[in-house]
Amino acid sequence: MWLLLVPLKLRYMLLSTALIGFGISAALSWLWPHNMHLLAVPLVFFGFFSAVGLRDLFQPRHAILRNYPITAHLRFLFEKIRPEMRQYFFEDDKDGMPFPRDKRAIVYQRAKGALDKRPFGTTYDVYQSHYEWLHHSIAPKEVAHEPFRVKIGGADCTQPYLASVLNISAMSYGSLSANAVRSLNKGAKMGGFAHDTGEGGYTPYHAEHGGDIIWELGSGYFGCRNADGTFAPDKFAEVAANSQIKMVELKLSQGAKPGHGGVLPAAKVTAEIARIRGIPFGEDCISPAKHSAFSTPIEMMHFIAEMRRLSGGKPAGFKLCIGHPWEFMAIVKAMLETGITPDFIVVDGTEGGTGAAPLEFMDHLGMPLRDGLTFVHSTLIGAGLRDRIKIGASGKIISGFDMARVMALGADWCNVARGFMFAVGCIQAQQCHTGECPTGVTSQDRTRQRAVVVSDKSVRVANFHRETVKALGELVAAAGLETPRELSPHHFMRRVAADSIVTLADLYKVLAPGELLSGSISDERMRIAWSMAQAGSFAPIDAAAGEAMRNSWRAPIFPAGEALRVSAAASQSTS
């Protein structure tokens, strides 16, 4: 009996209606065949939904379709358009992720040369925890009109590079479309700044407009690999000799997926990309998680020296996201032992972007930029090497304030990826990994990437760079300084509670020059990590020290005065 009542249940009503409608339409078509032209539409309409409903009812994969035939397709439709609905109708200017609407808007406006000012006052709650600001001066300086530059290249570098303080971060051809790469490089040429190739290598699209190139070399060694995937020195030397390539960069890890290796989904591996990279066509391109050219910090230093030599003396350095602190310190010890130092280090934060990565890696692996940057900066100071090595920073940098903050924490220049993607036309649809980017920025579909008009987007890239560096200069001048190099952590304040503020100097402690070499290290965490590091291996020396290290990093990150204030407040509340 219950089986007969099933079609009358509300969740089956659409299917029941479709079947009844189809049956009536079929009967009328049989009875009055001369009126078929009138009955064809309802016959096809009800027939289609009857077929869909019956398929839903008996298919084994989706439980919700079996219980709600036809109706449940609305769920899949709403789920598909949810990001767009949220972005266009429900998202506040400050709460969009990864980038809120106001950050995206400032890029679009500066790229288009539109008005980038705001009316009526800040929309931030300035008394909320984590609000940050820069101290201004009563006697501001004149805004510098010349572009801010940093010279990269140490004593062993015969072709140093005078880089802009704002450059295009690593994004590979493959992750980006050909027209996006063309637009970025032409914009870099117009604006006089550098374009990092990403680990996908130097391609004809990077070469087309002649913008300055930073060639990134990942564990896949794309563009200079042997048939077995190992590093090919002769091929590297041949490519690196190109005058367009200004620096060579060894990629150890990426902030969004450290320890994983690069990922280019099969949907984006075209025959051309397979040929350029030397990989199978139509298969996922996954770089090894670690390099085969070296296995110890000392070997890594010799490899960087070899990269510098093979490139003809161009600046050679490496990029990483900080993980185990003793591993970076092991690299620093290898620098001291071998006497080989990189010309630069790029610190990538876990908040950095990617075209494709596992969720766990994006959300919970790697050190955030400010923490990693301060750690690298402090370690190099403590080892007496900071004046020999320049530091770049990348990870969710968009505005002049973002640049000023990381430069105060130790960066010499900034790399930006997604900001320049916005300038090219990205709308944060987050379809990068599917090959179906709606604006063609990350798609290898030629019918999609034609939407990126190089002559227009390259101008926007140059505009965004110019206006952002201009905004940085205005902030620096307002603080009473002449160059970004004068910024320091004590210029920046952060509210840590409704009634408490601290400087970034309080939050991010830095060692004294040569402190790591003196044997008397004030920071317990740094002391333990330094004692665990060894130049001959990335592995820690002592497991017991590792446990002490883990315990030391559990300590609260409060300045001494703030800790006393919190303790006193707690005492008063209990008395």
pLDDT at residue number 353: 82
> Between the CA of residue 276 and those of 199, 269, 377, 448, what are the distances in Å?
12, 10, 36, 21
- Cis (ω within 30 of 0) for the bond into 100? no
Q: What parts of the chain have a pLDDT lower than 70?
A: 1-6, 543-575
pLDDT for residue 128: 92
pLDDT computed for residue 261 by the predictor: 73
Question: In degrees rounded to 5, what are phi and psi of residue 247?
Answer: -145, 155
Q: Which helix (H) or strand (E) holds 148?
A: none
Quote the pLDDT of residue 276: 85
Region of residue 510 (phi > 0: left; psi between -120 and 50: alpha; otherwise: beta): beta
Residues 6+ apart with CB under 8 A from 330: 297, 533, 534, 535, 537, 538
Question: How far are the Cα atoms of 249, 361, 466 from residue 433, in angstroms, in the given order?
Answer: 25, 15, 30
The pLDDT of residue 383 is 97
Q: Which two tokens stand for residue 462?
A: 């140059």
CB 6 within 8 A of CB 12: yes
Q: How do residues 310-366 score in pLDDT, each as one tens digit?
A: 999 999 999 999 999 999 999 999 999 999 999 999 999 999 888 777 888 888 899
- pLDDT at residue 575 in the model: 37
Amino acid at 146: E
Q: Cα(170)–Cα(422) distance, rounded to whole angstroms?
A: 15
Residue 228 tokens, joined: 């077995």
Produce one character per residue of 32-45: b if its CB has 16 or more CB atoms within 10 Å, e if not. eeeeeeebeebbee
Report the distance separating Cα 308 and Cα 269, nearest Å.
Answer: 31
C-alpha span between 327 and 318 (Å, rounded): 14
Instruction: Compute φ and ψ for 409, nearest 5 degrees.
Output: -85, 0
Pairing of the two strands 213-217 and 195-196: parallel
pLDDT tens, position by position, 10-50: 889 999 999 999 999 999 888 888 888 788 999 999 999 99
Tokens representing residue 256 in the block? 């969004």
* Residues in a beta bridge with 414: 166, 393
φ, ψ of residue 320 to 5 degrees: the values are -155, 160
Which of 171, 200, 506, 480 has its CA nearest to residue 348?
Answer: 171
- H-helix segments, 479-575: 504-507, 515-518, 524-532, 543-552, 560-574
> How far is Cα 271 from Cα 111, in angstroms, rounded to an integer?
33
Residue with tokens 């219950």: 2
State the DSSP string of 219-244.
Answer: TT-TTSB-TTS-B-HHHHHHHHTSTT
